[in-house]
Copies of this chain bind each other. A is one copy, B any other.
Amino acid sequence: MFEKNLKIGYLLDFYGSLLSEKKRTVLDRYYNDDLSLSEIAEELGISRQGVRELIKHSEEELFFYEENLRLAEKAGKTREASETLLSLLKEQGASKEILAATQQLLSTVNG
């Protein structure tokens, strides 16, 4: 059985630009547009088994990037740490300059 891994759509946001166009398209159609293997096969003019293999290899590539760079994991932790800091700043009435500098830092980090 071939199961959808919900983490893939998320990893695609981080590393999609590193994949070949064909791999990116297949994952995008499968995970974001929710097409079936058969529908993708028809669209790309390859076999259903070909689509399945392409998805498998593309997923392995995404996992390799995340294992080595951990951008997705880091983004989750950064979001938490940002929220903690922002709520403290608001609670303690930080100045406009500090709030602006914090927003500047966060938009650089997330940009």
Contact surface of A with B, Cβ cutoff 8 Å: 15, 17-18, 64-65, 68-69, 71, 74, 77-78, 81-82, 84-85, 88-89, 92, 94-95, 97-98, 101-102, 104-105, 108-109, 111
- How many copies the complex holds: the figure is 2
Contacts of A69 in B (CB 8 A): 15, 17-18, 69, 71
Contacts of A15 in B (CB 8 A): 69
Contacts of A105 in B (CB 8 A): 78, 81-82, 84-85, 105
Contacts of A68 in B (CB 8 A): 17-18
Decide if A89 touches B78 in the complex (CB within 8 Å). Answer: no
Contacts of A92 in B (CB 8 A): 94-95, 97-98
Contacts of A77 in B (CB 8 A): 108
Decide if B104 touches A84 in the complex (CB within 8 Å). Answer: yes
In the bound complex, what is the Cα–Cα distance between A5 and B46 (angstroms)?
43
Q: How far is the CB of A63 from chain B (nearest CB, A)?
A: 13
